[in-house]
Structure 1
Amino acid sequence: MQTPNPAGPAAFRPAAVIRPSWPLMVAPGAVILLLAVPLLGGLAATGLAAADGAAWQVLVTEPGLLRSALLSLWTALAATLLSVLLAGGMAAGLAALPGFGRMAERAALVMVAAPHAAVAVGLALLIAPTGLIFRAISGGGGALPPDLAVPGDRFGLALIVGLVLKETPFLLALLLAAQARLGAGAVLARARCLGWRPASAWWRVVAPQIWPVLRWPVVAVLVYGIGTVDMAVVLGPSLPPSFAVRSLSLLFDADPARAAAGHAAALAQLALAAVAVGIWWLGARLARFWLAGGRGDHPARIDPPLVRRPPQPVAPALSGLSGLVGGLALLLAAASLATLVIWALAASWRFPDLLPMRWAPDRLADTVALLGNVIARTVWLGLLPVAIALPLAVLVLEREALGTDGGTGAGRSLSQAAEALVYLPLLLPPAAFLAGIRALALRLGLDGTVMAVVWCHLLYVFPYLFLALRESYRRTDPRPRLLARSLGRGAGGAWVAVMLPLTARPMAIATAIGFAVGVAQYLPALMIGGGRLPVLATEAVAAASGIDRRAASTAALLMTVLPAIGFLLASLIRAPARAVRQ
């Protein structure tokens, strides 16, 4: 048999391997370096500061310490459980109303953009004895406000409500997006054909398949409930305060022994978070056993899962009730933000008048003018981390796409350990590493500097931005870019001509999310800024802790408006038309 001529025109010539440029090569290492240095260094510094046994002796002798720990544990677990149940009930209810799913997702995303401190201040003004709710109940006349310790009740109920208002929209948006990716609509359609009620089918079949996607976000919500300070200061009790608030007060104590006890308390938050996660894991195992009908097998693996009707299906009434309460929670969150607008514009608002007697928009303008430097600083501290995180995220994803489609065989540009490092700040109580970063910044003379605060903001901005951009970037068809490279375009030219139009909208949305995260940061500005870099979050919480409701509402309202502007600008960028993509 005659062998073919290798030099002939029909000879196969493998495509040249596309070698990554040096920015793509160093991007994963730069991400690891930028995140590992402050995170691991902060944890180590916190551990060293708390290594002295005297610090722990001072901590354990603090009055009411156990009650503070139990309060934080109770509020975090209760808020997380309610948020999961309400988000699941709303998703199950929307399973029977598929036309409203997109509308509900958009409403949830609007509430997700609102910072935690803004929601806390709005809720505090809404449920206070002189708030809008009790004004509507009183019915006018000479009624006096009720004698209630709300917010700040001893059981942390107001704090639980605040956490639920903020986390339920977040989990609902994740649920709706996850079930859309998993094709839950087809499963529910088959279930209805077999006689299942939509709510029962959602809880029995869809929920177990979505849970692996939501496992870590739920843990992040739980850990945030343990370590939150801004919401706990505004809504939580003060005698004793939550464990996170108590550790912060110890850290800022002038007595070195008590400051060392503050580092020990910050480290103890890790143990408290581990206990909370362990309790949650045990409860999730029991819930999975119950959903499996007591057989111990995974509900999603019941064979066949839709043909075998469970002997006691999930009551649609309970699912409908949780969906109704979830909808009311969204309305309550919207009412909290509306309360901010009323208080910011009110000139005089006496109880029990339902609305202010006089309005003073000029006073709002004066307050905004007084906060001009704080607003500008908040904007810059929100934009600078995004300006660093977005190019790094794009380079990391480009490296991954090049390794998968360009022949380098690199595959994932970040190892599993590196990805765990990226998401680790979301899974740890912030004081556990911010206390150590503060100690290092004081030692190096970097406290109160913009660079140190931006670096700490980057710990939170990059994970959220990377998560928001990753799936859209990975789903982008790589063939047009490879075609552009084969036609002689360089790597940069092919990316600008092909990938930039295709990913402009996802990048804009990721930028808006990163900016919203940067605007909402409270602890980095307080602990690392040292009070010399006030932002809207610190101003809102400080004013809400006092008696100036107008200043608190104005600062919280501005905190809400800034991310809303970012999302509005991102929504103006449309996906390219099909003809343009071709």
Structure 2
Amino acid sequence: MKTKTKGWGDPLVFAPVIMIVALLGPLIAGLAGVLLPAFGFFPSLGGDQFTFSYLQDVTHKPGFWQSVRLSIWIGVATTFLSLVIVVSSFASQWGRNSFRRITRFISPLMSVPHAAAAFGFAFLIAPSGWLMRLLSPWATGFSHPPDWLIINDPAGNALLIGLVLKEIPFLFLVGLSASSQINVDERLKVARSLGYGRVWSWFTVVFPALYKQMRLPVYAVIAFSSSVVDVALILGPNFPPMLPVQLLHWMNDPALEMRFVAAAGAVWQLGATLVALLIWRIGEALIAYIGRRAAINGQRHRNDRWFRVTATTAMSAVVVIFVLSLIVLTIWSIAGFWRFPNALPSSFTLSRWANNASALWVPIVNAISIAMTSTLISLVLTIACLENEYRHNIQFTPNAMRILYLPLIVPQIAFLFGVSVFLVRYGLDGSFWPVALAHTIFVLPYVFLSMAASFRSFDLRYLQVATSLGASQNKALLFVRLPMLMKPILLASALGVAISIAQYLPTLLIGAGRVPTITTEAVALAAGGDRRLIGIYAMVQTLLPAIGFVGATLLPRFLFPNRKFFR
């Protein structure tokens, strides 16, 4: 029998409350810090009366409505294309060797930061990029780069494709996790026994249940894509830019009056994301209706070879483009003289790495320190909450799980600006701990979600044996459960480090530019155009989380080589 600690004597009882406060506190304070200036109330800058004028004035800024439309379009289109490719891949390849091979390729791509992936994609498809070099002059006839606006195009096509490439690995892994909870194989057996085709079986009996498990992560993708800043700075249009990029410009404007305008714009950004979510919600209802009608018409759709070939080709293309982007990043980081249209540089050198080693040191140390601090805080809170579930039989309700996703669904720029206002008011901005705690807001949900399944499925008989031998619950946790869960804990830690290192906007706004990390420095180089230097910073940004994942995978095998459980 499971022993429970009764009453308030166990400090773990307060862990869920601390977690909710850690997530909701900055969110509520940040939204308040945005809403008040948006309506004219900002006493520090002379705003002591509520007014709607700033919310109206911001709509008259040049290109404002085009920026709003672009944000909504990018959010919805990115999520739709990513989800279609992922689900189609699942439907056409589930259980096959090709699916396992793609899974091995997709998983490491999750650790690549958005900014690094965007730089690699830009170096690949630019008019002077690697693809054009590989095809020139023998296929294109170009001896000089063509005057084509591929990167930073007004329609945002490069931004859309770049985001799709990065969100597919995330949704793929979310789908894998969700599929383990709905007995996919049993559902498919029933549908196939009734004569349904392989793909139609998936969309009829698996996808509805799978999507229920994926809905909140999908909403998180919509929110992120509609309000992304770092990728938009690298790949997005410049005139006018996406709304969050324009907001960042207003926030950094020397004229203090623009703080009111920026706050009003942040409210509009929140509205744009809500509109994107509403459009998606309407689309859900429409597709559900069409799916029900299609499911009852009796069609079996056995001839689905064309669909399976298309889906496999699309997913394979995503993997190939992603890998080529990382390769061209590596090449540029060590390239010597590289004349267009040569496919490779005339020489390779590490001199740029050596020359920039001293400049890299501080951003790397800051990035690692912040990542380890935010991940450690997230791990402690996660383990405390999950252990509290076991001891007191109190699990997170669906509403509590929604709270866990709130920091991922609310646009960062819509509340981080408000948080920075409060920090500036009390002189707490621009230092290590506020930045680390800001990162924790975004790291904590991922760490919790990645650890919850392993923690909850742990065989409780090990704990029963430990307690029967006289060990307390705390000793059983420290010396039995946690060591046996070392692998999922290390993987959750590696994921937390990867999420933290990729954070651009929290570092920039909360750090006030005085806590540089490898990500903020890399994005700052985007306007410079020095591909070799960008390649170096982007490669470092990619290697840091990759080292974490490799260490998380190999460390249990190294420490416990003869124990199958730890492998």
TM-score range, shorter chain: over 0.9
Q: Could you tell me how far apart the structure 2 residues matched to 1:278 and 1:54 are?
A: 27
Report SS of the residue matched to 2:195. coil
Unaligned runs of 5+ in 2: 41-51
Tell me which moved more, 426-435 or 356-365: 356-365
Q: Which residue of 1 aligns with 2:511?
A: 529
* Structure 1 residue 285 corresponds to structure 2 residue 285: yes
Q: Which residue of 1 aligns with 2:201?
A: 201
Q: Could you tell me how far apart the structure 1 residues matched to 2:525 and 2:203 are?
A: 43
Q: Could you tell me how far apart the structure 2 residues matched to 1:195 and 1:33 are?
A: 52
- Tell me by how many angstroms 1:515 deviates: 0.5
1:471-498 CA-partner distances (Å, limit 9, x unpaired): 1111112222123112210122211332
The AA in structure 1 aligned to 2:16 is P
1:357-390 CA-partner distances (Å, limit 9, x unpaired): 1111232233234211111111111111011110
Q: Which residue of 2 aligns with 1:118?
A: 116
* Structure 1 residue 506 corresponds to structure 2 residue 475: no
The AA in structure 2 aligned to 1:321 is T
Report SS of the residue matched to 1:346. coil
- Tell me by how many angstroms 1:183 deviates: 2.0
Q: Which residue of 1 aligns with 2:49?
A: none
1:289-316 CA-partner distances (Å, limit 9, x unpaired): 222235xxxx6xx7xxxxx842667854
Q: Which residue of 1 aligns with 2:53?
A: 54
Q: Which residue of 1 aligns with 2:5?
A: 18
* Structure 1 residue 362 corresponds to structure 2 residue 359: no
Q: Which residue of 1 aligns with 2:545?
A: 563
Contact 1:76 1:222 (C-alpha < 8 Å) held by counterparts: yes
Q: Which residue of 1 aligns with 2:229?
A: 229
Q: Which residue of 2 aligns with 1:373?
A: 362
1:223-269 CA-partner distances (Å, limit 9, x unpaired): 11111000000000000000111111111112222221101111211
Contact 2:522 2:534 (C-alpha < 8 Å) held by counterparts: yes
Structure-to-structure mapping, 1:210-249, within 5 angstroms: 210-249=210-249
C-alpha change, 1:172 and 1:397, in structure 2 (3 Å) is same
Structure-to-structure mapping, 1:259-338, within 5 angstroms: 259-294=259-294, 309-310=298-299, 315-338=304-327
Structure-to-structure mapping, 1:165-176, within 5 angstroms: 165-176=165-176
Report SS of the residue matched to 1:154. coil
Contact 1:69 1:243 (C-alpha < 8 Å) held by counterparts: yes
Contact 1:386 1:462 (C-alpha < 8 Å) held by counterparts: yes
Contact 1:87 1:323 (C-alpha < 8 Å) held by counterparts: no
Contact 2:195 2:300 (C-alpha < 8 Å) held by counterparts: no
1:259-285 CA-partner distances (Å, limit 9, x unpaired): 211011112111111110111111122
* Structure 1 residue 130 corresponds to structure 2 residue 128: yes
C-alpha change, 1:415 and 1:78, in structure 2 (3 Å) is closer
Contact 1:263 1:435 (C-alpha < 8 Å) held by counterparts: yes
C-alpha change, 1:16 and 1:56, in structure 2 (3 Å) is closer
C-alpha change, 1:580 and 1:112, in structure 2 (3 Å) is closer
The AA in structure 2 aligned to 1:245 is V
Tell me which moved more, 236-245 or 131-140: 131-140
Tell me which moved more, 205-214 or 477-486: 477-486
Q: Which residue of 1 aligns with 2:29?
A: 41
* Structure 1 residue 445 corresponds to structure 2 residue 427: yes
Report SS of the residue matched to 2:336. strand
Structure-to-structure mapping, 1:417-496, within 5 angstroms: 417-496=399-478
C-alpha change, 1:174 and 1:35, in structure 2 (3 Å) is closer
- Tell me by how many angstroms 1:89 deviates: 1.4
Contact 2:3 2:391 (C-alpha < 8 Å) held by counterparts: no
- Tell me by how many angstroms 1:143 deviates: 1.0
Q: Could you tell me how far apart the structure 1 residues matched to 2:23 and 2:539 are?
A: 31
The AA in structure 2 aligned to 1:200 is W
Q: Which residue of 2 aligns with 1:386?
A: 375
Q: Could you tell me how far apart the structure 1 residues matched to 2:356 and 2:4 are?
A: 60
1:406-449 CA-partner distances (Å, limit 9, x unpaired): xxxxx22x455544332210011101110101111111111111
Q: Which residue of 2 aligns with 1:74?
A: 73
C-alpha change, 1:15 and 1:551, in structure 2 (3 Å) is closer
The AA in structure 2 aligned to 1:328 is A
Contact 1:92 1:323 (C-alpha < 8 Å) held by counterparts: no
Report SS of the residue matched to 2:180. helix
Q: Could you tell me how far apart the structure 2 residues matched to 1:63 and 1:98 are?
A: 52
- Tell me by how many angstroms 1:395 deviates: 0.6
C-alpha change, 1:207 and 1:580, in structure 2 (3 Å) is closer
- Tell me by how many angstroms 1:23 deviates: 3.0
- Tell me by how many angstroms 1:392 deviates: 1.1
Unaligned runs of 5+ in 1: 1-13, 303-307, 405-410
Q: Could you tell me how far apart the structure 2 residues matched to 1:316 and 1:477 are?
A: 43
Q: Could you tell me how far apart the structure 2 residues matched to 1:91 and 1:494 are?
A: 40
Q: Which residue of 2 aligns with 1:403?
A: 392
Report SS of the residue matched to 1:433. helix
The AA in structure 1 aligned to 2:528 is G
Q: Which residue of 2 aligns with 1:6?
A: none
Q: Which residue of 2 aligns with 1:8?
A: none
- Tell me by how many angstroms 1:190 deviates: 4.2
Which stretches of structure 1, 4 residues or longer, exceed 6 Å deviation after superposition? 575-581
C-alpha change, 1:484 and 1:372, in structure 2 (3 Å) is same
Report SS of the residue matched to 1:74. helix
The AA in structure 1 aligned to 2:485 is T
Q: Could you tell me how far apart the structure 2 residues matched to 1:59 and 1:191 are?
A: 54
Contact 2:191 2:205 (C-alpha < 8 Å) held by counterparts: no
1:96-125 CA-partner distances (Å, limit 9, x unpaired): x52343332232211111111111111111
How many residues align structurally? 549
Structure 2 length-normalised TM: 0.92
Contact 1:539 1:552 (C-alpha < 8 Å) held by counterparts: no
Contact 2:197 2:303 (C-alpha < 8 Å) held by counterparts: no
Structure with larger Rg? 1
Structure 1 length-normalised TM: 0.90
